[in-house]
Amino acid sequence: MENKDSIISTRKISYYPSGKETLCIGSKDRARIFEEDGATRLSWDQEPAAGDYKKIHALRLLPNKAQAGKGKFPAYIKALEQLSFLEIPLPFLSVIKQEDLPAGLKTLMISNTEEYAELVTKQLPEWPGLKLPGLKAVIFFNTFGSAELPSLLNISQEHVPSLEYLACRMDKKGKILKDIEQFTSLRHLEVEFAYGFDIMSSINSPLEALSIIGADKGFPTDKLSLLKKLQTVFLNGISAVIDCNVFTTLPDLQEVNVINSKKIEHPEALLACKKLKNIMFVNCGKPFKKISDQFLPERYDRLNIQFS
């Protein structure tokens, strides 16, 4: 059995850039982590040299509150022919125009940080009607202390017809469920702070990968059975019961990842999942303590239950 990365993390990483192809514009502090991975940083008032345009595959715009408040979208971005990943501050949604973005953009990250909370609360930006037929991923990146978003800002399937990956944070009233409902092309959905909402019943896409990060006791894990095309699942910090019998209802399931979730029932049911080749349970109250010998390492590509 090889020590492989999880299927779901490999899928997720494909929508993100590597450090060496990334340019950060703005905050020295926020750019530091990316510089450690090989990214380059320029100050907010600098522009990349025209001769470097074709080398830029990923761009992170990291203005401070005052700079973001001015709402000046860099004009040179539309000339970055190789740009596939773009991170923008949430307030910039109000000023982007269709002609501001290169046609090859694949991933758009919308950053909602604590620093922008006052700007967002004062005037919540909305999707500006952009139609990006080639966009594959939309990532709402929310930091600790950021303002809660009550919706996905009116982005719709019509705007991003090829969208495969959506990452967002649920709002406390569950209004974002209606936004998730209207997407039909998603392959991978990641939801942070699911509370007790029935997210699965709001999915109308042929979903293959689902990540839930944080959920209350009332979260209906049994509704995973609705997602018949699911191949990989990642559950982190789930306070609700996870009855592993639900995984036997998913005929294409190849991978189960569960961490920091203490209410695991019937883990032996995983043995009946015919296509399951990757299992990880970490910090889950040792549900495999009495049955670990039934899970033969040679049967799996990746088996991590010793610290379950």
157 and 211 inside one domain: no
In a shared domain, residues 250 and 297: yes
3-state secondary structure 35-85: HCCCCEEECCCCCCCHHHHHHCCEEEEECCHHHHHHCCCCHHHHHCCCCCE
Say if residue 187 is in the same domain as residue 263.
yes
Residue type, 89: P
Residues 16 and 92 occupy one common structural domain: yes
Query: Are 163 and 140 in contact, with CB atoms under 8 Å apart?
Result: no
User: pLDDT band for position 1 (50/70/90)?
Assistant: very low
Residue 2 has pLDDT above 60, yes or no: no
Task: Kindly state whether residue 268 falls inside one of the protein's structural domains.
Answer: yes
Domain boundary among 120, 135, 169: 169
Domain end (from 169, 185, 211) = 169
User: What type of residue is 165?
Assistant: Y
Give a yes or no: residue 4 inside a domain.
Answer: no
Instruction: Please name which of 120, 126, 93 lies closest in space to residue 108, comparing C-alpha atoms.
Output: 93
Shared domain check, 252 and 162: no
pLDDT in tens, 46-72: 999 999 999 999 999 999 999 998 888
Domain boundary pick from 126, 143, 169: 169
- Domain annotation covers residue 145: yes
Question: Are 165 and 180 found together in one domain?
Answer: no
Q: Are residues 117 and 236 in the same domain?
A: no
Banded pLDDT at 111 (limits 50, 70, 90)? very high
- State the Cα–Cα distance between residues 59 and 17, nearest whole angstrom: 9
Among all chains, which residue has been given the structure tokens 């189960």?
A: 256
Q: What is the pLDDT of residue 120?
A: 86
pLDDT higher than threshold 60 for residue 242? yes
Q: Decide if 229 contacts 252 (C-beta within 8 A).
A: yes
Q: What is the pLDDT of residues 116-152, one digit of tens each?
A: 988 888 889 999 999 999 999 999 999 988 999 999 9
Give me the domain span that covers residue 180: 174-308
165 and 91: one domain?
A: yes
Cβ neighbours of 285 (radius 10 Å): 12
pTM of the model: 0.96
Supply the mean pLDDT for the chain.
95
Average pLDDT for 68-79: 92
Same domain, 191 and 163: no
Lowest mean per-residue pLDDT among 89-98, 195-204, 230-239: 89-98
Q: Domain of 215: which CATH number?
A: 3.80.10.10
Distance CA 126, CA 152 (A): 8
Q: Specify whether 156 is located in the same domain as 263.
A: no
Does residue 182 share a domain with residue 98? Answer: no
In a domain, 31, yes or no: yes
Sign of the dihedral through C-alpha 281, 283, 286, 287? negative
How many structural domains does the chain have? Answer: 2
Residue 79 has pLDDT above 70, yes or no: yes
CA distance 193 to 149: 12
Is residue 5 in some structural domain? no
Identify the pLDDT of residue 21: 86
At 227, the pLDDT band (50, 70, 90 cuts) reads: very high
pLDDT at 155: 95
